[in-house]
Amino acid sequence: MSLKSIDSVFITGANRGIGLEFTKQLATSQNPPKFVFASHRRQNIQQLQELSLHYSNVILIALDVTDDAQINKAVDEIKLRVKDNGLNLLINNAGICYRATLNTITEEILLQHYRVNTLGPLMIAKSCRPLLQQASAIHGISAIVNISSSLGTFSMDVTGGIYAYRCSKAALNMITKCLSEDLAADKIAVVALRPGWVQTDLGGYGADLTVTESVRELLKQIKQLHLCQTGQLICYTGAVLDW
């Protein structure tokens, strides 16, 4: 896949952090997509609004990823724009992380993480499937990118704590694997990407990478994506990680 062939991309949680930076870098790239569907929850959207004023390919869409009706409405809006060309790329980026410990974890905190970090991406992938199928029939490939974390793996960094976030991302990793199997025949590549530890509200501002650096490297990986990589967890450096 090359960005040249990405006519349309749908990004969740696009109003700040990594999602906003994806929107910026895609909208301002040399061969920009025709449509950058940047979704948000109607709050803290000044930067996104400014971007859409300067770049007509940035289309704002209201979406809380935990709301099925909003998901269907968002996908209908995308369908109206892309028509029979389908959707080339879905980036499931929206996420939350409350650093709950064994003493502070509650059922509601766990469920909220699953709703946002796990169920949202799955329900959005399900709704976008026909659009992704249309694009892959034209271009030979379309893709779902789930923004995951080393904190959701068994192979790295299991130090205890952060229960809700770790479990929701581990489940997102399994969803990535299952989707990769179910969508292989449709030529829809499904991967989990690890952005590294990034300076955002979620990552904290003492993190290793600026959001610009992380997203630049993530986009490199996305541009190079091949169907044979489906079902992998890929680091922003390009390394394939163990689950």
Binding residues for ligand NDP (CB under 6 A): 12-13, 15-19, 41, 43-44, 63-66, 93-97, 116, 147, 149, 195, 197-198, 200-203, 207
Burial of 110 (0-12, 13-18, 19+ CB in 10 A): middle
Q: Which residue has the tokens 């694997």?
A: 177
Helix, strand or coil, per DSSP, at residue 92 = strand
Nearer to ligand NDP, 140 or 204 (CB): 204
Nearer to ligand NDP, 27 or 198 (CB): 198
Is residue 115 within 8 A of residue 168, CB to CB? The reply is no
For the bound state, the minimum distance from the C-beta of residue 23 to ligand NDP, rounded and expressed in Å, comes to 10
For the bound state, the minimum distance from the C-beta of residue 3 to ligand NDP, rounded and expressed in Å, comes to 21
Distance CA 165, CA 149 (A): 9
∠ CA 11-171-182, nearest 5°, is 70
Is residue 186 within 8 A of residue 132, CB to CB? The reply is yes
For the bound state, the minimum distance from the C-beta of residue 155 to ligand NDP, rounded and expressed in Å, comes to 15
Nearer to ligand NDP, 184 or 197 (CB): 197
> Residue 8: enclosing H or E segment and its boundaries?
strand 8-11
For the bound state, the minimum distance from the C-beta of residue 38 to ligand NDP, rounded and expressed in Å, comes to 10
Is residue 170 within 8 A of residue 156, CB to CB? The reply is no
Nearer to ligand NDP, 38 or 135 (CB): 38
Is residue 65 within 8 A of residue 110, CB to CB? The reply is no
Is residue 161 within 8 A of residue 97, CB to CB? The reply is no
For the bound state, the minimum distance from the C-beta of residue 84 to ligand NDP, rounded and expressed in Å, comes to 28
Nearer to ligand NDP, 138 or 202 (CB): 202
For the bound state, the minimum distance from the C-beta of residue 103 to ligand NDP, rounded and expressed in Å, comes to 23
Nearer to ligand NDP, 76 or 201 (CB): 201
